[in-house]
Amino acid sequence: MSGPKETGGECLTILLAGPRGFCAGVDRAILIVERALEKFGAPVYVRHEIVHNRFVVESLEAKGAVFVDELDQCPTDRPVVFSAHGVPKSVPEAAEAREMIYVDATCPLVSKVHRESEHHHRKGCHIVLIGHAGHPEVVGTMGQLPDGAMSLVETVADVYALDVPDDKPLAFATQTTLSVDETRDILAALRERFPDIRGPKKEDICYATTNRQAAVKEIAQDSDMVMVIGAPNSSNSRRLVDVAREYGCPKAQLIQRAKDIDWDDFDGVKTLGITAGASAPEVLVDEVISACRDHFDQVTVREVVTAEENVEFKLPRLLTA
């Protein structure tokens, strides 16, 4: 067949961002569910999506995982895993009260934010959390402290509208999956309004979020379109779309699978940037590249690597004993 197969352009160059896809926290969370299934047999219950990706969730369901919204949907005689995003303290307390076996798959970098928040609270601080309302990680972090001990801000405007106690020092913490640039502006506003506000020893935004955003910045300026493979409820994936648009590619979009691609959008697209959120497996990237090969006569893939990652997190002792 001569010419393009469906899209209107003969050749397509794909700029493949690196790093992309699974981070160490997601790898660990998925492995925790798989090891729990091996140790305890099916079913193993999981409170909330272990990570924000339907492909991953459905793959684990096929192995015997049962995903539920709340703990009271789990029988007491089967183990339950808490998702990588973290949970309020009330959840493991309820599991203990019901004498359940539970495994906490909270990403260690999220746990670090929890510990820092508790540390500042013990020092008498009121905590300002930078994050997105309703996100499971934010719910989990705010649930580490008593009601009223933490205030949430999402924007610079929120900072200037913030009402905090006058008799307490302030400290801040950050959701780990935010936009690096957006958070920088919010932090600048916090420090301008509250010069003595205390922060973490090391920034809360995780290495994987930072690295994936840096890689997208690198490919966006040379791409006619950027596709981010990830779930619509994945904060880090949505931020990658925002970053691509801000750094030179207004035609950036989020897709979950190759079947979601609208090939009519490819008019005038000769260079396609591709990345994947931290909870999207590489098989979905391969699937999108394969679909591109089906729609173009010639596809050239060039990987653009801006960082190397070798982070690994240990599994909970319950699963390694």
* Active-site residue set: 137
Identify whether the C-beta of residue 121 lies closer than 8 Å to the C-beta of residue 143. Answer: no
Identify whether the C-beta of residue 143 lies closer than 8 Å to the C-beta of residue 99. Answer: no
Q: What is the dihedral of CA 195, 201, 206, 212, to 10 degrees?
A: 70
Q: Which residues contact 46 (CB under 8 A, 6 or more apart)?
A: 33, 60, 65, 66, 67, 68, 80, 81, 82, 83
Q: Which residues contact 310 (CB under 8 A, 6 or more apart)?
A: none
